[in-house]
Structure 1
Amino acid sequence: MWIWPIISYLFAGINGAYVVTKYKLQEDITMLGSGTGGARNAGRMAGEQAFIWTVVIDALKTILPLSLALYLSVSPVILAAMVISSVAGHIWSIWLKGRGGKGVVVYLACTLVLEWPGLLIFGGAALLAKFLPVSFSKVMLGAMIIPVVSAFFRGDPAVSFGLLIGYGLVVLSHLIPVHPGS
């Protein structure tokens, strides 16, 4: 059953921003703007539709393997490992020689599949943050811990742990340069 995290890592390495900007601009997103293969950079470099398509691709590449594993009743420990490998695979894509995005969409897609009640609470925090005089990005980064806590209190410690490590990787990717040459 440990093939599942490997599958998740390989799927997560398919970078939506790279695919979209290569199609739209015939350029490598890791050489443009911030140098990250994420939705925000794709949106800045190639427009709003590039942002939207990047989010869709990055969400689907995460949702499909996790949903199949969940459907096949894979153990919570394997699901937790899939979360970690999905976030890591997006941040350090094997297909882009260790470059990638910062993992936000992938992490949130994991929470959609495995901890949707926590994602709903996170969504409420996001809505509230839009009306507060604080940095939206910083509030969102902090509020992403909500699904971790929700999974723990709903009695799923393995998934909570996987989400915690995934969240930690996302925070790490925002605090220090995690890509070569960034």
Structure 2
Amino acid sequence: MTHLLWTILGYLAGSIPFGVLVTRALNLGDLRTIGSGNIGATNVLRTGNKTAALATLLLDGGKGAVAVLLARWFTGDDSAAQLAGLAAMAGHCFPIWLKFRGGKGVATFLGTMLALAWPIGLLCCATWLAAFYLSKISSVGAIAAVASVAPWTLVFGRTDLTITALLLTFIVLFRHRENIVRLHAGTEPKVGKKT
């Protein structure tokens, strides 16, 4: 029953569409009609407002971290924390409030991993930054980061997190399936260029 409760709470937390709320609060328009129509920080950046993009990044990451930390705090059970983090990811990517059309989950993934195991989370962040720096393509950073997480759980001996890491990876890759097609075709835009 406890696991079910934290799964529901994690999903509801993850479903909060901070990108839409931030852009609306700053009178930047309906984010779903801008750029790619995605509700994440990369698309918020296409409004030209870097502060809004940073706020969205932190809030989207924060909801994954908060879901994990609260579940761990109240239950003392790491499996409940993992379920809450997975549910927050699902909520972000498939939010009930937006007819299940959500973001791609990268910030929420990073926040979740930082809360579950901060050394692994930091390495995923570093992987994202390195891949993005080299490619200037947001999706390349995202794919590299999620591809690295399961191996990092093995390196750090956190095999208890490996299944969760693989599920998080699957969700992010599924949400990036169109980006992967464009990357293969060489048509994926770099950050700063219009889609």
TM-score by structure 1 length?
0.84
Question: In structure 1, what is the Cα distance between the partners aligned to 2:105 and 2:168?
Answer: 8
Instruction: Give yes or no for contact 1:30–1:99 (8 Å, CA) kept in 2.
Output: no
Question: In structure 1, what is the Cα distance between the partners aligned to 2:33 and 2:133?
Answer: 34
Match of 1:94 among 88, 93, 96: 96
Question: In structure 2, what is the Cα distance between the partners aligned to 1:136 and 1:92?
Answer: 20
Deviation readout 1:134-171 (Å, 9 max, x if unpaired): 85632541232333222344444343211211121011
User: What is aligned with 1:40?
Assistant: 42
Structure 1 residue 118 and structure 2 residue 125: aligned?
no
Question: In structure 1, what is the Cα distance between the partners aligned to 2:69 and 2:99?
Answer: 27
Instruction: Give yes or no for contact 2:110–2:121 (8 Å, CA) kept in 1.
Output: yes
* CA separation of 1:123 and 1:55: change in aligned 2, threshold 3 A: closer
User: What is aligned with 2:105?
Assistant: 103
Gaps of 5+ in 2: 180-195
- Classify the secondary structure of the residue corresponding to 1:145: helix
Structure 1 residue 151 and structure 2 residue 146: aligned?
no
Gaps of 5+ in 1: 178-182
- Classify the secondary structure of the residue corresponding to 1:95: helix
Sequence identity, in percent?
Answer: 28
Number of positions where the alignment pairs a residue of Structure 1 with one of Structure 2: 177
CA RMSD of aligned residues (A): 2.4
TM-score by structure 2 length?
0.79
* CA separation of 1:59 and 1:95: change in aligned 2, threshold 3 A: same
Instruction: Give yes or no for contact 1:80–1:158 (8 Å, CA) kept in 2.
Output: no
* CA separation of 1:54 and 1:141: change in aligned 2, threshold 3 A: same
Q: State the 1:120 CA deviation.
A: 2.5
1:1-182 pair list within 5 angstroms: 1=2, 2-25=4-27, 27-129=29-131, 132=134, 137-176=139-178
Question: In structure 2, what is the Cα distance between the partners aligned to 1:97 and 1:55?
Answer: 22
Relative contact order higher in (CA < 8 Å, ≥ 6 apart): 1
